[in-house]
Structure 1
Amino acid sequence: MRSFVFCLFLLAALFVSKPVQAGDPVSGEDIRDTINQQLNAFQRDDWAGAFSYASPALQTIFGSPDRFRDMVLGGYRAVYRPKQVTFRDLDASGLRPVQIVFFIGPDGLAYLAAYEMERQADGSWRIASVQLIQAEAKSA
């Protein structure tokens, strides 16, 4: 089911998003702020708030904050209750910027997340997809 949902993420993101044009400024600070705000909403169990940082395509796919919550709790616990969050590289060379984030999850395992970001018509950023993979390291 998780891989099916991920495929839906990618398809929706490809058809709905506005690509970053050459010369468009990409603010890493604004992108990190968007991700941090969603992480903060997770900490408060503010699912409507967390859902508001998802792209319109993802909001359409999930339909409600409750269904979004079920997906996060089912496969993204590392971003829901991380022990550690470290922002790494921002790759703005493609159609959409991708922010890499390192997490230590509640299980003590290390994860890398690739947040694909989508600029909205008003200039704000939303999260279009997240790929989460377990990294090699484990925290003490």
Structure 2
Amino acid sequence: MRARLTFSVILSALLLTPAAAIDEADRTAARGVITRQVEAFGRDDAATAYDQAAPGIRTLFPTPEVFLGMVRTNYAPVYRHRTFVFGTAEDSGGTGLLQSVAIQDIYGVDWTAEYSLERQSNGQWRIAGCRLTKSPGTNL
């Protein structure tokens, strides 16, 4: 009986404990990861850019060079741009964060990048994905 009561108390405490909320320090740290990666792209520093990627991205792109090649081909506005301005950041569920970025590419076309970041077991943020969309009203 006592073991069952102890288990119930522990289970209740676990269920009632909220997941770690995303605070301003997390937002700042996540923006730092994105900034490090974007600055690395500007220098063609594949290793530093790759270091900012989450394990899932590293699985898809097994070397820094392959990763950088994919970014050059599929994310040209992120790779090279005129402006890169952070927008809102939102909690995406305890260990995740979504960061919006307004980008103007080298041709003057406006884009929005939605970065997905994951908190790693060591507490560091890493980029798990980026959805790039052309802003409404712009033409290519």
TM-score with structure 1 length normalisation?
0.79
SS at match of 1:136: coil
SS at match of 1:91: strand
Q: What are the superposed Cα offsets for residues 40-60 of structure 1, whole Å, 9 maximum, x if unpaired? A: 101111011101100011111
SS at match of 2:123: coil
User: After alignment, is 91-100 or 41-50 more displaced?
Assistant: 91-100
Q: 5+ unaligned residues in a row in structure 1: which ranges?
A: 1-20
Structure 1 counterpart of 2:71: 72
Alignment of 1:15-26 (within 5 A): 22-26=19-23
- How many residue pairs were aligned? 118
Q: Does 1 or 2 have the higher relative contact order (CA < 8 Å, sep 6+)? A: 1
Q: Give the alignment's Cα RMSD to 1 decimal.
A: 1.5
1:104 matched to 2:104: yes
Structure 1 counterpart of 2:118: 118
2: CA distance, partners of 1:64 / 1:93: 28
Q: What are the superposed Cα offsets for residues 76-127 of structure 1, whole Å, 9 maximum, x if unpaired? A: 0111111001100101143521000000011210000000001011111000
The list of structure 1 runs, each at least 4 consecutive aligned residues, that deviate by more than 6 angstroms after superposition, is: none
8 A Cα contact 1:77 1:106, kept in partner: no
Deviation, 1:136, is 2.6
Q: 5+ unaligned residues in a row in structure 2: which ranges?
A: 1-17
1: CA distance, partners of 2:106 / 2:49: 19
8 A Cα contact 2:22 2:91, kept in partner: no
Structure 2 counterpart of 1:36: 35
2: CA distance, partners of 1:93 / 1:74: 28
Alignment of 1:47-86 (within 5 A): 47-86=46-85
SS at match of 2:84: strand
1:129 matched to 2:129: yes
8 A Cα contact 1:109 1:137, kept in partner: no
The code of the aligned residue for 2:121 comes to: A
2: CA distance, partners of 1:127 / 1:78: 17
Larger radius of gyration: 2
